[in-house]
Structure 1
Amino acid sequence: MAVQRRYLSLAAAGLTTAMTLSLTSCGSGAGDGGDVTLKLIAADYGDNAANSSKHYWNRLVKDFEKKNPGIKVDVSVYSWTDVDKKVEELVKSGKAPDMAQIGAYADYAAEGKLYKARDVLSIPVQADFVPALAEAGEYGREQYGMPFGSSTRRLFYNKKLFAEAGITDPPETWAQVSADAAKLKAKGVKMPYALPLGPEETQAETLMWMLSGGGSYTDSIGKYTIDSKENVKTFEWLKKDLVTPGLTGGDPAKLNRQDAFNAFAAGDVGMLNGHPTLMKQAEAKGVEYGTVELPGPAGKAKATMGVADWMTAFKQNGHRDQVGKFLDFVYNEKNVMDFSGHYGLLPVTTSGSQAMLADSKYAKLHSFLRQLDNAVFYPADKTSWPLVSKTVKAKMGKAVGANGNPAGVLSDIQNTANEADNTAE
């Protein structure tokens, strides 16, 4: 089945905190000779105060202000759980920021509130985006979402636990995943395979398994295919071969992604799907790990999941030129590499990607980066996606539980998706 290359937010990802960046001044705006006030709300990728991306923005802004008199920058921080809601509140109250770095853009684009990428970025900067990510930021064949951070997913495994269970090679097929998980369970591993289908990021784990089984949320023309035969087979396998035999170490519906990551870093998980930030977390705890491509029914999966967060530029304040000047600066190679390298993310530009691949310092990210061009992302260009994602979070965990009915749950979500799509049209 063809899969649609559509793309969304690091969100899943899973990186958790966010911030407001305000470019402020004493003047009233463009055209009056005074300073221009710009406001940017952006996500913080740090996991503590010392690692907050507020520090990244402070350095970048200081450099920008030196080169651009008349544009000043103030930074304030929001958590990831609050950032999208904060932007929504500002927009509804008529106080839209000039820019927002958030998880989705389609609703604002559909309402005509956003500048197109080509309206604010210089041609070289827009052309430098990784093509797959630029395409993912399109609504109505125009790019409105400018990728800011990205990642792909791989299967992580604990080398020590594998060795103790007599497992010599990481799995490439689902049958091997199940067999290896059984060996890990026999050795007393708490979570042989961590399956986080709790409410935090269910939509991500769901897509990874859909892709592993040859399915996806949508087809090549953007039609929802949630209850496809491929997806039904995938979740029936999960229920029968992983959850029912007790190989997940508990109820997947109650396990959140960050809790699964924490358990892996504590040495309590044999295998799980993860993104690059898990590497730092595991290394900090001394866990020796390996990563491989996602396993599939008969071999390695043909595609993996990708995630992107989006920079958007709002029209309300009329600061198109100043916004463009700032964003051109944000996306220069140095700043892209500083951000990506520090937070273990993948560069969203071709120049940044090439620089990362050429630098052995980032060797552990290379396998994730090489997957980016063919990664499949959330259907973020669909205004119906936020509701569909919310529905997946509420229902998919129970689908593979003791009394779960994968086919029935997938059908229910498909019906919700169809109704939301029809309403959006």
Structure 2
Amino acid sequence: MRNLHRRTKVSLVALLQIMTMLLTGCMWRDARLPAATDHEAQATITFVAPEYSASTRPYFENVVKEFEVKYPTIKVELQVINWDILDSAYNTMISRNQPPDLLLTNIYAHFAKDGLLNSMTELLSKELKEKFYPYLMDSSMMNGVQYTVPYVTTLRELYYNKDIFNDVGLTEPPLTWIDLEEDSRIIKDRKQVDGFGVDLTDNEIWAYLSYFFYGAGGGWMKDGKWTINSPENVEGLTFLKHMYDKGLTDPEPAITTRDEKQRILGNGKLGMLISGNYFEAVVPQEYPGLKWAKGPIPVKEGQTPMVLGVQDVWMSFKTDHTNKEALSKFLDFIYEDARYEEFVLREGFLPTLRTVGDKMAEDDTLMKQNLNSIKNAKFYPINHPAWSAVLNATRNMGQTVLLGQMTPKQALDRLQQIALDKSR
């Protein structure tokens, strides 16, 4: 009940934030009108970014301030929005025909399909384009057009509390589903804490589905076709439900988020969970005494170990005031090596710029290891227009499956049909 009450409070705050942003959005149109100066008209860039942490807003506010000092004829209007309400906020702006000039988020292909996005090829300077890791640009391409560019990326792995493992006699992380089940049972029985944290909330259910789809030898797509209800994927979701039914996961997979579970692990009440490499920067800082380690995501016996990567990307919406020269200058500015490295370090991400990543890897063995691993990572199909609808349809699926209101196959059959319908 405590968690349900907390989510209600967050929802009320989110509602107030949306109302505030809608009012702000209504004022954007007037604010965008060029203001005459002595020499030339002033360009305006509207810019929406997600709030990754408490450091995000101050960082971008400072970037905007420095940019406007360097380019006094370009005004930047910034909104940093909590991830929980980001989708609602920018979709409302778009529905009012007031999209931002720049948006940083994790989906884009449905916007490109509807003809709403500028080509990033027209905005990127030659120097900036050459700085990206080529293998991280694939997800930004759709029908041969560069609609987005990656800003940050993360690598997903299994993180565990070493003290808990040592207390129950475990010396290494589980590599297979059999190991994961057995280790979770040992932790539960001997330590009286939860073994494995699972996030099936509307924050990131698609991530845990991916871990166990790919872990079973399946995936979201194969040869350009949706395969959401494949036997492998059904087996992966069935295993997750089996772990929950046996009491080997945390008790609230559909309520407590990954970030909340990271804190539970830091407090010594959870053995392990799958998270991104930002765990390494955020959780030990919050819990200085925590002893942690990591391993690969467990897979079904006989399957090849898998790596999942996740990207957030920049996109630019077509507007009646688009100033491509101003946007190009702003993108160059936020991707300047020193400035960009600061953001990566603040938030605990992996860089998408070769010039920054190679430099950081020289001094950081863990960074070098992570950048090598992500070269072979699987990514969400964000360059498929149906992905947005599929992602949204997963949001309330976790509790439905866990409570037995739908079988794993029924739930995945429904997702498959949504994918096919939206692909037509």
TM-score, reference length from structure 2? 0.86
Q: Deviations over 1:93-113 (max 9, x none)?
A: 222222111232212212222
Matches within 5 A, 1:95-174: 95-174=98-177
Question: Match for 1:331 among 329, 335, 339?
Answer: 335
Q: How far, CA to CA, are the matches of 2:32 and 2:203 in structure 1?
A: 38
AA matched with 1:163: N
Question: What secondary structure sits across from 2:351 in the alignment?
Answer: coil
1:414 aligns with 2:411: no
Contact 2:202 2:395 in 1 (8 A): yes
Q: Is the alpha carbon distance of 1:196 and 1:134 closer, same or farther for their aligned partners in structure 2, counting shifts above 3 Å?
A: same
Contact 1:39 1:98 in 2 (8 A): yes
Tell me by how many angstroms 1:40 deviates: 1.0
Aligned-partner SS, 1:382: coil
291, 298, 309: which one aligns with 1:295: 298
| Structure-1 residue corresponding to 2:271 | 270
CA deviation digits over 1:132-169, x for unaligned, max 9? Answer: 32111122221111111211100001100000110111
SS at match of 2:165: helix
User: Which residue is 2:234 aligned to?
Assistant: 232
How far apart, in 2, do the equivalents of 1:29 and 1:327 lie? 24
Deviation at 1:400, TM superposition (A): 4.6
- Match for residue 182 of structure 1 among 175, 185, 191: 185
Contact 1:158 1:271 in 2 (8 A): yes
The CA deviation string for residues 271-330 of structure 1, in whole angstroms up to 9 with x for no partner, is 110112223343121221101111212367533221111211122122011101111121
Q: 1:300 to 1:271 in 2, by over 3 A?
A: farther
Partner of 2:347: 343
Unaligned runs of 5+ in 2: 1-13
Cα pair 2:161 2:266 within 8 Å, conserved: no
Q: Verify the 8 A CA contact 1:294 1:300 in the aligned structure 2.
A: no
What amino acid sits opposite 2:379 in the alignment?
A: F
The answer to which of 229-238 and 342-351 deviates more is: 229-238
Provide the C-alpha distance between the structure 1 equivalents of 2:400 and 2:307, rounded to a whole number of angstroms. 24
State the distance in 2 between where 1:282 and 1:419 align. Answer: 41
Tell which deviates more after alignment, 92-101 or 333-342. Answer: 92-101
* 1:28 positional shift: 4.0
For residues 254 and 410 of structure 2, the distance between their equivalents in structure 1, rounded to whole angstroms, comes to 16
Task: Quote how far apart the aligned CAs of 1:89 are.
Answer: 2.0
Letter in 2 for 1:118: T
1:254-265 alignment, distance < 5 Å:
254-265=255-266
CA contact (8 A) 1:130 1:349 kept: yes
Distance 1:135 1:370 in 2: 17
1:48-127 counterparts in 2 under 5 A? 48=54, 51=55, 53-127=56-130
1:281 and 1:54 map into 2 onto residues whose CA distance is 17
Q: After TM superposition, give the deviation of residue 364 of structure 1 in Å.
A: 4.0
Q: Which amino acid aligns with 2:202?
A: P
Distance in structure 2 (CA, Å) of the matches to 1:237 and 1:130: 36
| CA RMSD after TM alignment | 2.7
| Contact 2:49–2:79 (Cα < 8 Å) also in 1 | no
Distance 1:376 1:328 in 2: 28
Query: Do the aligned residues in 1 keep the contact of 2:362 with 2:368 (CA within 8 Å)?
Result: no
Give the Cα separation in 2 of the matches to 1:84 and 1:29. 34
- Letter of the 1:205 partner, please give it: Y
User: 1: CA distance between counterparts of 2:260 and 2:107?
Assistant: 25
Q: Partners in 1 of 2:303 and 2:196 — Cα distance?
A: 17
Matched, 1:249 2:250: yes
* Alignment partners' CA distance in 1, 2:48 and 2:79: 8
Q: Distance in 2 between matches of 1:235 and 1:227?
A: 10
Shift of 1:342: 1.0
Which amino acid in structure 2 is aligned with residue 275 of structure 1?
G
Is 1:359 aligned to residue 359 of structure 2?
Answer: no
Q: Which amino acid aligns with 1:197?
A: L
Residue 390 of structure 1 is matched in structure 2 by 392
Using the TM superposition, name which of 73-82 and 340-349 deviates more: 73-82
Alignment counterpart, residue 378 of structure 2, candidates 376, 379, 401: 376
Residue 251 of structure 1: how far off its partner (Å): 4.5
- Please tell me whether the aligned partners of residues 84 and 103 of structure 1 are also in contact (alpha carbons under 8 angstroms): no
Deviations 1:218-247 (A, max 9, x none): 1132x111111211222223333x223211
Other structure's SS at 2:151 match: strand
CA distance in 1, matches of 2:60, 2:394: 34
- Paired AA for residue 234 in structure 1: G
Deviates more, 1:272-281 or 1:111-120: 272-281
| Cα distance in 2 between the residues matched to 1:383 and 1:28 | 38
**Alignment deviations for residues 68-120 of structure 1 (CA, whole Å, 9 cap, x no partner):** 23123344432222323222222222222221112322122122222111100
The one-letter code sitting in structure 2 at the alignment partner of 1:80 is: W
Counterpart-to-counterpart distance in 2, 1:312 and 1:189: 47
Mark the CA change 1:173 to 1:375 in structure 2 (over 3 Å): closer, same or farther: same
Could you tell me how far apart the structure 2 residues matched to 1:26 and 1:384 are? Answer: 35
Structure 1 residue 193, shift from structure 2 partner: 0.7
Instruction: State the Cα distance separating 1:202 from its structure 2 match.
Output: 0.7
Q: Which position in structure 2 is the counterpart of 1:218?
A: 221
Select 1:207's aligned residue among 210, 214, 226.
210
- Structure-1 separation of matches of 2:265 and 2:206: 20
Uncovered stretches (5+) of structure 1, i.e. residues with no partner: 1-15
Q: Structure 1: how far apart are the matches of 2:395 and 2:86?
A: 19
